Structure 1
Amino acid sequence: MTEPHITDSHCHLDFPDFDGELAAVLERASAAGVHRMVTICTRMRSEPKVRALAEAHEQVFYAAGIHPMSAAEEPLVSVDQLVALSQHPKFVGLGETGLDYHYTADSAEVQKQSLRIHIAAAQETGLPLIIHARAADDDMARILTETYRARPYSCVMHCFSSSPELARVALDLGFYLSMSGIAAFPKSQALRDIFAAAPLDRILVETDSPYLAPPPHRGKRNEPAYTAHTARVAATVFDLDYADFAAQAEQNFERLFAKVTAYQAAA
């Protein structure tokens, strides 16, 4: 019996953890039902390599931006640069961008500047914004709300593991929450409760691989195939059969990442 289709909405296939193994990684993903993935560029100097991965593999799409933890180390990207990149047929999102004050609070101001640039590009292109938020809930909620009210855009809170309050702000703006392996950890019941309270049509799943492998692979390198483990946990959170949850998650992904759907329809 074939596995239900599911999409890994956020992974990092260009990271050295996958060097020399990508063909096998993609094969295992396919066997697990993970038929598409979005690989995320976190530094603009990596964009050519990430783009090449998407060009080389039919099931791989990509997004690009500057990770907030790198914002102080990298030249700021411009809105025009991001808009130009968005012309590529397999470039499907902006980011990841966001705010991270856990380790890098000293660069808060440049992080906020970088975030606003990515938001402006999302507003300009209509592509979804991919947000990383950690230990910065108040600033994140404020910036997302004020920029959305000025000019609406679409957005996913990737690897969501923040407060119920930030979840509510994001959902009230029409944004999506993405469930990573963190939500499958045994001690993450409070996080599962946040997802359970969210609308089912606003949920995505991801690995953030090579990080955050869900059980039974916790502590090992994560990879796109393991999206299926997190999605099975998500199905229990919403009291659904796995196939029904996977079908809903696919609809959600295709609604938010509409450029993927259009690309595949034209292929």
Structure 2
Amino acid sequence: MFIDSHCHINFPELAANVPEIFARMDANGVTQALCVSVNLSDWPDLIALVDAHERLWASVGVHPDYEDTPEPGVEQLVALSAHPKVVAIGETGLDYFRLTEAPEWQRQRFRTHIRAARQAGLPLIVHTRAAAQDTLRILQEEQAGQAGGVMHCFTESWEVAQAAMELGFYISLSGIVTFKNAVQLHEVAARMPLERLLIETDSPYLAPVPFRGKLNDPSKVVHVAEKIAALKGLPVSTVAQATTDNFFNLFNKIKKKVEV
């Protein structure tokens, strides 16, 4: 059994083909998926999609790449997170990749999400690109370890992974780990303790080999698990079980809802 811990199935490229995606998920043993919010304008459509399907879950938050969008507040995020199918805050974080200077508005938005996660008692989904040290610093300053969370689509060094895990965070690997040139990430995957590892697609982007360059969807998360298993010298079933257990340990609102 596999779970896609981070996808955007509500994006137009995928939303029109949900039944076909579910069929492919079933064929590959992918039982559930977490649909991650990137802005508040599209969140009503996201939550409507998730509400309609038992196997889907949601987060609420605003991605750091979205500058011209309604800015979230702590109270608003906490209120929206009370929805029974919202299991995390985010995705949030810092992305300096295309910027010449680090914008203060990104850092403030990140702090807002961390404070909301602590208040709501939900984990954070953290995006970081070309901003690892600032990301770690703000997580520490805002005591994000009290909420916990995951460094999604991880592409940083082993040292950054260690620092994040010391704060109580999980590390999630995407289809990038299947790319031949992702040598640093191969090392991270090989060294990662299974109990801190998650798998994701970040679909519709970053399709894994052998689908690189094509449209991605949650059914393809199995290829991420297969590559990790090969790098660690483990059966795929071991990676599948560990990452599934980790998903429910981190996003434990799901278990609480199921138990009720």
> What's the TM-score once normalised by structure 2's chain length?
0.96
Q: What does residue 203 of structure 2 align with?
A: 209
Q: What does residue 86 of structure 1 align with?
A: 81
Q: Is the 8 A contact 1:180 1:206 kept in 2?
A: yes
- 2:168 alignment partner AA: G
Whole-Å separation in 2 of the counterparts to 1:237 and 1:225: 21
Q: What does residue 233 of structure 2 align with?
A: 239
Of residues 132, 137, 145 in structure 2, which corresponds to 1:137?
132
Alpha-carbon shift at residue 137 of structure 1 (Å): 1.2
Alpha-carbon shift at residue 107 of structure 1 (Å): 6.1
Deviations 1:100-138 (CA, angstroms, capped at 9, x unpaired): 000145562111010000000111111110001000111
Question: What does 1:50-69 correspond to in 2, within 5 Å?
Answer: 50-69=46-65
- 2:94 alignment partner AA: L
Is it true that 1:98 corresponds to 2:93 in the alignment? yes
Is it true that 1:228 corresponds to 2:225 in the alignment? no
* Change in CA separation of 1:108 and 1:164 when aligned onto 2, cut-off 3 Å: farther
The CA RMSD over aligned residues, in Å, is 1.3
Q: What does residue 253 of structure 1 align with?
A: 247
Q: What is the aligned residue count? A: 260
- 1:195 alignment partner AA: A
Is it true that 1:117 corresponds to 2:112 in the alignment? yes
Gap runs ≥5 in structure 2: none
Of residues 12, 26, 30 in structure 1, which corresponds to 2:26?
30
* Change in CA separation of 1:113 and 1:168 when aligned onto 2, cut-off 3 Å: same
Specify the SS of the correspondent of 2:65: helix
Alpha-carbon shift at residue 163 of structure 1 (Å): 2.5
* Change in CA separation of 1:45 and 1:16 when aligned onto 2, cut-off 3 Å: same
Alpha-carbon shift at residue 146 of structure 1 (Å): 1.9
Alpha-carbon shift at residue 189 of structure 1 (Å): 2.4
Whole-Å separation in 1 of the counterparts to 2:32 and 2:86: 14
Gap runs ≥5 in structure 1: none
Q: Is the 8 A contact 1:154 1:175 kept in 2?
A: yes
Whole-Å separation in 1 of the counterparts to 2:244 and 2:256: 14
Specify the SS of the correspondent of 2:57: strand
Q: Is the 8 A contact 1:181 1:214 kept in 2?
A: yes
Specify the SS of the correspondent of 1:38: strand
- 2:142 alignment partner AA: T
Q: Is the 8 A contact 2:41 2:70 kept in 1?
A: no
Q: Is the 8 A contact 1:179 1:205 kept in 2?
A: yes
Specify the SS of the correspondent of 2:31: strand
Is it true that 1:169 corresponds to 2:168 in the alignment? no
Alpha-carbon shift at residue 187 of structure 1 (Å): 1.4
Q: Is the 8 A contact 1:99 1:108 kept in 2?
A: no
> What's the TM-score once normalised by structure 1's chain length?
0.94
Compare 102-111 and 37-46 and name the one that shifted more: 102-111
Question: What does 1:33-48 correspond to in 2, within 5 Å?
Answer: 33-48=29-44
